[in-house]
Each structure stands twice: as C-alpha cells, then as structure tokens.
A and B are shown apart, each in its own frame.
Chain A
C-alpha cells in the first residue's frame, strides 16, 4: 500500500485460545480414530448410536456408556459447497462439506468430500472414509483425510429423510 492511497479497510482479527478437555466420551472416540476406528456410544441396544459420543443421550439424558464401532462408510444426508477459504481446512476451493450418516450410526457425522465433481454430489450418495497413512494416525479427526464416493447405488431419500 503506497502512502498516497487512502486507507479503505483495516484488519481486525478476533482470536480466542481455549484449553479444551475432550472429556471421557470424546476421548474414547478420539483414541479410536488413532486405530482407524469410528466409535459411537448408546445408552443400550436398540437406542441410537451417537457419533461422536458426548456421554449422554440428548433425548433422555441417560448415560451412553456402551461404545459401538460404526462403519467408516455411509450416506451423504446433507452437504454444502464451500467457496471461501478457511485457515483450518486447507483444501483446494471449491470443496464439499458433508454430513454423512455412517452405517450403524444414529446421527450424521461432519467431514469433507473429495474426488467427486461438484455437480455429482447429492443426498443419498454412498461414500467412504479415506484415512491417513499409519504413521500419521493420531487421536484427532484429521486421521480421516476426507470421504470419497464409494460407487454404490444411492440410498432412497425416504430412508434417510429424518437426517436431512
């Protein structure tokens, strides 16, 4: 910016640093990711499996102490095309964020979709997780690099409607 140019804008960053405790439930989920496992939890058999687990069933407040491994494959139930950059997701723009209902899970899970042309993303599309190499596995969501299309037939809308 040359000194002759008027000042037309200023940068006003907002930054908050938190020391977060994952808590017991999410800690087990994160440790599972370091072993290529996606762990949810439920209060008892027949009840929804929450992924990631928060420790209790939000409908009944019952503890969800039973850990259940869900599949790393699932169905896109909602998605959003991202066209603005952000610091924490360094992917080439535009890319797709998805809510994916993993097989065996009772609620969708948030991640990004790659290896898929934008115009082909759709609700009902089958996808799978692509994991980082073993040496990079860590107790963090970044152990899953992204999801990609699985090539299976779509799931009918009626079967996932409650999650869309």
Chain B
C-alpha cells in the first residue's frame, strides 16, 4: 500500500515476480536427480573434456552430448567474490562467497556459494567440499553450498 511522504507524494512497494517453472530435459534432468541423491554429474565431450554443470550440446562444436559422468564431490576454487551483505534470496543468510568451483574430474567450473566464515580464509585454489541440504527439494539448493575442506 502506498504511504504518504512529507511532500505529499505517494510512495509504495512494487513487487515484480515471475515464479517460472522450467522443464529440464535429458541432461539437466539427470543432473538434478543425481543432486537430490548427493551425487554430482558432468558430461563428457567428444574431445574428452568434462563440463559441469552438464550442457546438452558441446559449446565448441555444437555436437549433442549424452555421456554423463560422476565428478567431485570435492573441488577447488577457481575464482571468488565476497558477499558482505547477502540479500534475502541468496543462498546463505550471513556473509559468504560466490565462487567458481572446478570439481575433481571436471574441466569447467560450477558457480556456487562457499560458506567460509570470513573473507580472509578464502584463496584461489582452496579445496572445498559440498554441504548437502537436509531435505532435498529437487533443485540447485539440494547442494546447499560448499565449505572449505582444510
């Protein structure tokens, strides 16, 4: 509801929200199904690279891909960015890092949250391991976040 500011001009909250439901298809469907079972899948290209998250088509050649392979669960931080003041819908309620994580056995990096406590504990190359959601829902948040492994 609009409220009155001192100068008499109305001001109010305007929420724009789209609750999209996306169908996943033959590659991301198995990826999220495995995630619910605390397993992470990548996909192997014809040249032997393993992409995580898995892509339906090789981004270099356009070839259709279907060879899903297990990766991780551990990995290392390729790049990261500290989130000092998390927003309401972000993965963690306290300060954390968004990071690109290359899982063991993968050649590409997955974007996810790292719960590191404080920024000074983070570094490129740090080992991480997944923390799984207590009640999987079938989505990326079944992998709640990563945490530092050592």
Contacts and interface: CB of A to CB of B under 8 A. Distances in A.
B16 A9 contact: no
A92 B14 CA distance: 23
Interface stretch (A18-26, A66-74, A98-106): A18-26
B121 interface: no
A87 interface: yes
Interface stretch (B1-9, B48-56, B58-66, B122-130): B1-9
A87 B32 CA distance: 28
Nearest to A13: B19
A152 B36 CA distance: 61
A14 B36 contact: no
Contacts of A19: 11-14
Contacts of A87: 17, 19
Interface in B1-59: 1-2, 5, 8-24, 29-30, 32-33, 35-37
Interface of B is mostly: mixed
Interface residues of A, number: 29
A27 B13 CA distance: 14
B9 A9 contact: no
Interface of A: 1, 3, 6-24, 26-27, 30-31, 87, 138-140
A18 to B, nearest CB: 4
B20 A14 contact: yes
A15 B17 contact: yes
19 contacts: A6-B30, A7-B32, A7-B138, A8-B24, A8-B29, A9-B22, A13-B19, A14-B18, A15-B15, A17-B13, A17-B15, A17-B16, A19-B13, A22-B2, A24-B9, A27-B10, A30-B10, A138-B1, A138-B2
Nearest to B37: A3
